[in-house]
Amino acid sequence: MYKILKAEKLADKIFLMDVEAPRIAKHCQPGQFIIAKIDERGERIPLTICDYDRDNGIITIVFQIVGASTYKMSQLQTGDSFADFVGPLGQSSEWIHEDLETLKNKKMLFVAGGVGTAPVYPQVKWLHEHGIDADVIVGSKTKDLLILEDKMREVAGNLYVTTDDGSYERKGMVTEVIKDLVQNQGNKYDVCIAIGPMIMMKFVCLLTKELEIPTIVSMNPIMVDGTGMCGACRLSVGGEIKFACVDGPEFDGHKVDFDQAMKRQQQYKTAEGRAMLAAQEGDTHHGGCGQCN
């Protein structure tokens, strides 16, 4: 059992939990995720790691209610436990393996949309701890749905907040802030890391391709079972079949076929749709079974 040390509501339908998981905290890196199960019969829920405390063996997760399982998870309180809490899973962010001196010479831009702020935070924090400042754009529909702002301000070189309705800081989409920073303020970026809703990442990538900024995206929004066995997170990257949970979750955003991924995500929601996908994709439907690719 994995004890919940803190349970906090961050915003409407968005929750944060600190979970006692020493082995995961010891080995995890930015970009990776865990799988949580509330009880033995519970659904497997993949969640990107928001933060980790190696000394105290704590993993922080942030999740949004999107269905019955996450609703049930939101009802858990401090002192309750998860039956299973597995990780770290997936590949860590590639840039953390780069030479630090080389990394210090790079100008990095992070773009976080909604709950995507949670997986962006540990990456920016890692850079800050290694003496590297990065620019961060955080977008939210409204001020009330903005999360982790104070924590992000502590680690970001520059933080730019924008809300769709203009209820806080700037008004508009994250893409408008990117344009302002690059085209009006003359900032030059070596890489952009964008994490958030699929549609947001798509339009960020369309813009950064035009601006010639290499861009990394996290495809964690399409993960379901977290091992590749379900076939939910199958996607096309540069014309090759990949699976977000075993090959990612981070990929070259300019190579991801977002339209196909979003269409497939909708189709996967029904039993009929899943059956059709399995029939159409054949041996490439699954990624974690060892029989694909």
Q: Is 63 annotated as a binding residue?
A: yes
* Three-class DSSP category at 10: strand
DSSP state, 43? P
- How many angstroms from the chain centroid is the CA of residue 176? 21
Q: In what order do the strands lie in the sheet with 108-113?
A: 170-171, 158-163, 135-140, 108-113, 191-195, 215-218, 250-252
Q: What does the DSSP assignment read for 31-72?
A: T-EEEEESSTTSPPEEEEEEEEETTTTEEEEEEE--SHHHHH
DSSP β-bridge partners for residue 216? 193, 252
Cα angle value 264/15/155 (rounded, 5°):
95
**SS3 assignment, position 29:** coil
| Residue 183 marked as a ligand binder | no
**Is 289 annotated as a binding-site member?**
no
Question: Of 30, 20, 22, 16, nearest to 90 (Cα)?
Answer: 30
Residue 256 DSSP symbol: B
Residues 6+ apart with CB under 8 A from 1: 81, 82, 83
245 is in an annotated binding site: yes
For tokens 């933060």, the residue is 51
52, β-bridge pairs: 59
Diameter of the chain by CA atoms? 54
> Residues within the annotated binding site for FAD?
62-64
> Residues within the annotated binding site for [2Fe-2S] cluster?
230, 233, 245
> Residues within the annotated binding site?
62-64, 230, 233, 245
